[in-house]
Amino acid sequence: MDVFLTTAAMFADPYLIGVILIGTVGGVLVGAMPGLSSTMATALLLPFTLTMEPIPAIALLSALYCAGTFGGSITAILVNAPGAPPAAATAFDGYPLAQQGRAGLALGIATVSSTIGGIFSIIVLIVAAPMLARVAYDFGPPEYFALALFGLSMLASISGESAFKNLLGGAFGVLLATIGMDFTTGVDRFTFGFWELSEGVHFIPVMIGLFAGAEFLTQAGNLDRKMVRAAIDAVKLPSWPDFRGTLGTVARSCGIGAFIGLLPAEGGTVAAMIGYNEAKRWAKDKSKFGKGDLRGIAGPETANNAATGAAMVPTLALGIPGSATTAVILGALLVHGLRPGPHLFNETPTLLYGIFIAMLLANLMFMGLGLLGAKLFARVTLIPTRFLWPAVFILACIGSYALEQAIMDVWIMIIAGLAGYFLKRFGFSAAPIIMGLILGELVENSLKQSLIIFDHSWLGFLERPIVVVFILLTAISFAMPVIAGYRDRLRAKMPPSADIPGD
């Protein structure tokens, strides 16, 4: 309690409040701009936080993360162009409602639902992270290897349409992590004569390239695209009868979002889609969905914001990213010399409470911004893309160079951007590659340490109960996409009136 009170007193500092406010405003702006995302913004901003103290730096990125998830709902509702992937499901009912002249109500329910989901996720973070960290005290190299392997297996469903492509992307990320000197043998690997690569490929320029650089090239082909924005007078709080009709959906989506967020490598996009599907499935009258049903907004918005805090649980307690954006925040912790995992809770409890409070304040701030300034934030869509994206590219170059003041990092960013652009065109997602790159070092080092402990006997893994549990979970995770594909093919072959037993 003393640590909490000490940390809370720190937030009386106008500087820290200002940092969170800047992160919240920036997050809403980034989220409201189609093409931009909180993941891209945190990746671009991370190098600029190197001169900041750890608490303000992580608080800034955490606030941007929370607000960016909400900000995507603004353009999803007004222009049918989700500013962030988690807001894609919000457009299904949000835009039809805006076309009916009820954009203010749609934004109001999105703001309130997002705030409820966000605050619920902070409660989950505060309760679950310390509990998981205590369990992790029993982890050794074998357990961390099995956990990292499980995290990589979850990449199958993180994004995109193909589980195989996601896993292939994750494997490529792990391969990138092997570039540089092997500190066990002292041998340089895959450096191709460039001494700058002896220390490995840093994930920050790769991350900036895959997210910002690839999107820059994609948007270059849409310079003349114009958006039709629905008219909006003012955002208004939903009336009690309107909100009462969504209570069950909000409560259900809180649980869905928190559960999805706790799973390594999942995130708000998956939570939002499941939240929308469950809202529709539990509705007595499904005919209104897709035509402007408030539950179709409340479900995904609650779920994707409930996933934000929950996704921080495995990130902080285990050092395994819960989503693409938390992978960037994990990188920020590492860059600032912090070690995510159980030791973080004993060594730097002030930082943890700072993250909790910053995310809570960000949720309260974006509620006020959403209710009072959504009309203003919606005007961000009027910024000509021919000016916006060159500015993004310049920031990407500066951010890549700022980390080590090395021009090699800029070239890595450019190469990653080109690769990300072509990979995106062929259905590959950037998030699995980034997570594979971040987890790759943990996988390799923990495997080497484990084999030394077991005297190079692989059977030693089967003598550790926690390892066996994670291996079984990994096998299930690999099997689920195969089973789902088989079920889909079976459904396609069945007559329309037939049903699969057990459904």
As a whole number of angstroms, the distance between CA 359 and CA 315 comes to 15
pLDDT at 500: 43
Examine the pLDDT at 204 and tell me if it is beyond 70: yes
CB 450 within 8 A of CB 461: yes
Examine the pLDDT at 473 and tell me if it is beyond 90: no
pLDDT at 88: 73
More confident residue, 152 or 19: 19
List Cβ<8 Å contacts ≥24 apart for 364-367.
364/115, 365/20, 365/21, 365/24, 365/63, 365/67, 366/24, 366/27, 366/28, 366/66, 366/67, 366/70, 366/71, 366/111, 366/114, 366/115, 366/118, 367/111, 367/112, 367/114, 367/115
As a whole number of angstroms, the distance between CA 302 and CA 255 comes to 9
Max mean pLDDT range (127-141, 283-297, 351-365, 475-489) = 351-365
Q: What are the tens digits of pLDDT across the range 325-354?
A: 888 888 888 888 887 877 777 778 888 888
pLDDT at 265: 56
Stretch 392-414: mean pLDDT: 81
pLDDT at 251: 92
pLDDT band at 213 (very low <50, low <70, confident <90, very high): confident
From residue 48, alpha-carbon distances to 54, 63, 159 in Å are 12, 15, 28
> For tokens 């902080």, what's the residue?
316
Give the total residue count for the chain: 503
Q: What are the tens digits of pLDDT across the range 447-468?
A: 888 888 888 888 888 888 888 9
Examine the pLDDT at 246 and tell me if it is beyond 60: yes
pLDDT at 380: 61
pLDDT at 376: 67
Examine the pLDDT at 173 and tell me if it is beyond 90: no
3-state DSSP assignment of residue 188: strand
Listed in sequence order, the residues at least 6 apart from 484 whose beta carbon sits closer than 8 Å to its beta carbon are: none
pLDDT band at 503 (very low <50, low <70, confident <90, very high): very low
pLDDT at 117: 92
Indicate the average pLDDT of the chain. 80
As a whole number of angstroms, the distance between CA 345 and CA 335 comes to 18
pLDDT band at 60 (very low <50, low <70, confident <90, very high): very high
Stretch 21-33: mean pLDDT: 84
pLDDT at 21: 92
Q: How many helices (H) and strands (E) does the chain have?
A: 21, 2
Of 156-160, 323-327, 441-445, 484-488, the poorest mean pLDDT is in 156-160
Q: How many CB atoms are closer than 10 A to CB 413? A: 25
Stretch 226-231: mean pLDDT: 52
Of 60-74, 104-118, 202-216, 482-496, the poorest mean pLDDT is in 482-496
Examine the pLDDT at 116 and tell me if it is beyond 90: yes
Q: What are the tens digits of pLDDT across the range 270-317?
A: 788 778 888 887 888 777 888 888 898 999 999 988 988 888 888 888
Of 53-57, 159-163, 410-414, the poorest mean pLDDT is in 159-163
List Cβ<8 Å contacts ≥24 apart for 157-160.
157/266, 157/270, 157/480, 157/481, 158/265, 158/266, 158/267, 158/270, 158/324, 158/429, 158/431, 158/432, 158/435, 159/85, 159/269, 159/324, 159/429, 159/431, 159/432, 160/427, 160/428, 160/429
> To the nearest whole percent, how much of the chain has pLDDT over 70?
85
Examine the pLDDT at 227 and tell me if it is beyond 60: no
